[in-house]
Amino acid sequence: MIMQHLVSMEHLSVEEIENLIQKAMQYKAGEAVPNLQGRYIANLFFENSTRTKCSFEMAEHRLNMKQLNFESSVSSVQKGESLYDTCRTLQSIGCDALVIRHEQNHYYEALLNMGIPIINAGDGSGQHPTQSLLDLMTIYETFGRFEGLKVVICGDIKNSRVARSNFHSLTALGANVVFSSPDVWKDDSMAADYVELDDVIDEVDIVMLLRVQHERHDGNAQGFEKADYHRQYGLTEARYAKLQEHAIVMHPAPVNRDVEIADALVEAPKSRIFEQMSNGVYIRMAVLAEILKG
C-alpha cells in the first residue's frame, strides 16, 4: 500500500514504521538511494524551525528534488490568504508534495482531499511524525528492538507533539513508556503513568527529555525558575551517573542547556541528541521516497 500522506503516527501501522526505518538505514549506508529528479516540493513553515526545516531541505537535495522557495512572511498569507488557498495555489502551479508546519492542531484535516501529498512537519501541540520516526530509528540503531524497552519521557508533556507522537508509536512497538512532568504540564489524554524521575532513572533504557515550550503556556509558566526545573525534572550530572551502562539520552532540540539537560551532558557518551539530527535527514528521505514513489 502506497502512503498518500504522513500527518500522524496514529495513521501508520507497525509494518509501515518498520519499513521507513529500514529504508532510512539503507540510505544512511549509501544504499539504493532513489532519484526523484523532476519532482517539485514546497516547505511551508509557519512556525520557527531549524532542524526540521533544514533536514527536510537536505533530504530533498539528496533525492535531487526541486524546491520552491516559500516564506510565509512575504507570501499572500500576509494579505489574508487561507492555508487551504495557499496549498491549492502551490498544487496548481505544479508542486508534487507539501511539507507543512503550522501552529493549528490538525490543520491538515482540511487538506487531505486536495489531491496532493501532505507531510506534517508539526501541528501545534498535536503530532510531529517525522521527529518520532527519527527517534525510533535512533533507538533501533542502538538496541535493535523496541519490545520491552523502558522509556521515560520527561518535561512539558501537555504541549509536546513529540511526546504525543512517541508515546503512541513506542507503545505500539512494544516499549513501556512512562511520563515525568510538573502537574501543570501533565496530559491525562494519554494512558501513561506519571512517575518521579529519580524513582526510575536507574531502571530505564531511554531518557527522552522535552523542551520547555514557553510559547504555548499562556501564562501557565508563571513563576518558572530554570534552576528549580533543572533540579526537579532536568538531567543533572548526578542523575546521569545513575543511568544504566547501556542507557541513552534523547532530546528533540532545540536544547535549553542547564534546564532540560546539564550543559556538560549534551554531547556526553550516552547522548544521542546530534545523532537524532543526523538521522532526521535519512528518515525524511525515506518518507519522501515512499510517498512519491508512485
Supply 108's cell numbers: 491538515
The DSSP letter of residue 183 is G
88 labelled binding-site residue: no
**Does 101 appear as a known binding residue?**
yes
Map residue 286 onto helix, strand or coil: helix
Residues 6+ apart with CB under 8 A from 17: 9, 133, 136, 169, 172, 173
Please check whether residue 116 is in contact with residue 95, taking contact to mean a CB–CB distance below 8 angstroms. Answer: yes
| Grid cell 533507538 in the structure block, residue | 139
246 annotated binding-site participant: no
The response to whether 239 counts as a known ligand-binding position is: no
29 is in an annotated binding site: no
Rounded alpha-carbon distances, angstroms, from residue 132 to 8, 35, 72, 122: 10, 25, 25, 11
The answer to whether the annotation marks 145 as part of a ligand binding site is: no
* Amino acid letter for position 246: H
Q: Is 52 annotated as a binding residue?
A: yes
Surface-to-core class of residue 80, CB atoms within 10 Å of its CB (0-12 exposed, 13-18 middle, 19+ buried): exposed
**Is residue 217 annotated as involved in ligand binding?**
no
- 268 labeled part of a ligand binding site: no
Q: Is 254 annotated as a binding residue?
A: yes
- Residues forming the annotated binding site for L-aspartate? 79, 161, 211
- Residues forming the annotated binding site? 51-52, 79, 101, 128, 131, 161, 211, 253-254
- Residues forming the annotated binding site for carbamoyl phosphate? 51-52, 101, 128, 131, 253-254
